[in-house]
Amino acid sequence: MQIALDAMGGDHGPEELIGGALLAVKQSSLQVTLVGNQQILQAHLDRLRSDDIGSSQIQIVHAAEVVEMGESPVDAIRKKKDSSVLVAFELVRQGLADAAVSAGNSGATMAAAVRKLGRMEHVSRPGIASIFPTLKKPVVMMDVGANVDCRPQHLFQFAVMASAFSHIFDIDRPRIGLLSIGEEVGKGNTLVKETYARLAASSLNFVGNVEGRDVFQGDVDVIVCDGFVGNICLKLSEGLAGAAMQMLKDEIMKSTAAKIGYFLARPAFRAFARRVDYAEYGGAPLLGVNGIGIICHGKSSAEAIKNAILEAAKMVEKQVNQRIIEGLAANAQDEELVI
């Protein structure tokens, strides 16, 4: 299997990204194509590659341009035809790669995926799914930012797509929750109430509304919401996890005993930090396009990039897109009934 990696995007530069690619090929039989400036990438690769990695496992495809983090996604994708992110998705389009991964400008990655791969049939709006850590299994939330104003059919399609994606965790019949402000039917805003009826009438494994406090309990596999709410949840969680650790450390620094305690418990703190670090779970797939694309945090470490590459491969292996097509087809009739 061949994964194209935009090796120029991201806050840490090509070195970290190539490091991630090397970690991925070392622990799998995957092949990774690094996309970007040939000369720069080759120089890093020569330095980083160990002898046990065959030349067939890592190759470079040249792309002359780079979309910068601050650029307007739409403009960048229109003007920089030879940018690493567009070339990576062009490889997927041509069947030369099975999936593309980028830690560059998120908007540009999304725009490149939609432009090169096109929307899937029956999908009104592609969306971004994100994996949240919970007390039990990870939960998939969708949409987390691609679509800020949604209609019920969009949320319904997110449910189908996120369920298909959750198969990468070997979940057979994913339990779907609708994010709302009360568990009872009838709770929520107009969008949620209308979506509830549609989900309840479908063949999906819809378990009802879930509240904000349920997100981290892990009692559902998929949480559906519009991209405005989902994006706020995602960033609020990141912000709170960081702020909570900071507050706890502030308290610990107030006493010597607590400082010693912290020193002794440090491995546990590190393990905890990894557990709540979103980057550890790989990246956020853009679902609803004819191909596989994963959007990573700009700040992704080599470890996070490795996880995103393995996640992309898992999506291919688990036939996520085929499941989406089947899921949408199976519910096309229900949808008509509920509209």
Which residue in 220, 231, 218 sits closest to 178, CA to CA?
220
Q: How far is the CB of 254 from a copy of itself (least distance, A)?
A: 7
Q: Which is nearer to a copy of itself, 122 or 137 (CB)?
A: 137
Residue 264 in the binding site for a copy of itself (CB under 8 A): yes
Could you tell me how many helices (H) and strands (E) the chain has, helices first?
A: 12, 11
Residue 317 in the binding site for a copy of itself (CB under 8 A): no
Q: Which is nearer to a copy of itself, 150 or 315 (CB)?
A: 150
Half-sphere exposure of 288 (CA within 13 A, CB side): 27
Residue 177 in the binding site for a copy of itself (CB under 8 A): no
Q: How far is the CB of 264 from a copy of itself (least distance, A)?
A: 3
**What is the layout of strands, in order, in the sheet containing 293-295?**
58-62, 31-36, 2-6, 99-102, 293-295, 284-287, 127-132, 139-142, 222-224, 176-179, 206-210
Residue 238 in the binding site for a copy of itself (CB under 8 A): yes
Q: Which is nearer to a copy of itself, 246 or 333 (CB)?
A: 246
When binding is defined by CB under 8 A, the residue of 43, 96, 268, 337 that contacts a copy of itself is: 268
Residue 244 in the binding site for a copy of itself (CB under 8 A): yes
Residue 235 in the binding site for a copy of itself (CB under 8 A): yes
Residue 247 in the binding site for a copy of itself (CB under 8 A): yes
Q: Which is nearer to a copy of itself, 23 or 296 (CB)?
A: 296
Alpha helices in 49-189 (DSSP H): 73-79, 84-93, 106-117, 152-165
Q: How far is the CB of 68 from a copy of itself (least distance, A)?
A: 16
Binding track over 122-151 against a copy of itself, x by CB under 8 A:
-----------xxx---------x--xx--
Three-state SS at 198 = helix
Q: Which is nearer to a copy of itself, 173 or 259 (CB)?
A: 259
When binding is defined by CB under 8 A, the residue of 36, 174, 177, 188 that contacts a copy of itself is: 188
Total residues interacting with a copy of itself, rule: CB under 8 A: 62
Q: How far is the CB of 116 from a copy of itself (least distance, A)?
A: 24
Quote the DSSP letter at residue 136.
S
User: Where does residue 168 rank: exposed (0-12), middle (13-18), buried (19+ CB within 10 A)?
Assistant: buried
Residue 281 in the binding site for a copy of itself (CB under 8 A): no
Residue 269 in the binding site for a copy of itself (CB under 8 A): yes
Residue 266 in the binding site for a copy of itself (CB under 8 A): yes
Spatial separation of the C-alpha atoms in residues 213 and 196, rounded to whole Å: 19
Spatial separation of the C-alpha atoms in residues 138 and 132, rounded to whole Å: 6
Residue 45, beta-bridge partner list? none
Place of tokens 């897109």: 321
User: Where does residue 180 rank: exposed (0-12), middle (13-18), buried (19+ CB within 10 A)?
Assistant: buried
Quote the DSSP letter at residue 296.
-
Residue 237 in the binding site for a copy of itself (CB under 8 A): yes
User: Where does residue 336 rank: exposed (0-12), middle (13-18), buried (19+ CB within 10 A)?
Assistant: exposed
Interacting residues toward a copy of itself by CB under 8 A: 133-135, 145, 148-149, 179-181, 188-190, 192, 211-217, 226-229, 231-244, 246-248, 251-252, 254-255, 257-269, 271-272, 275-276
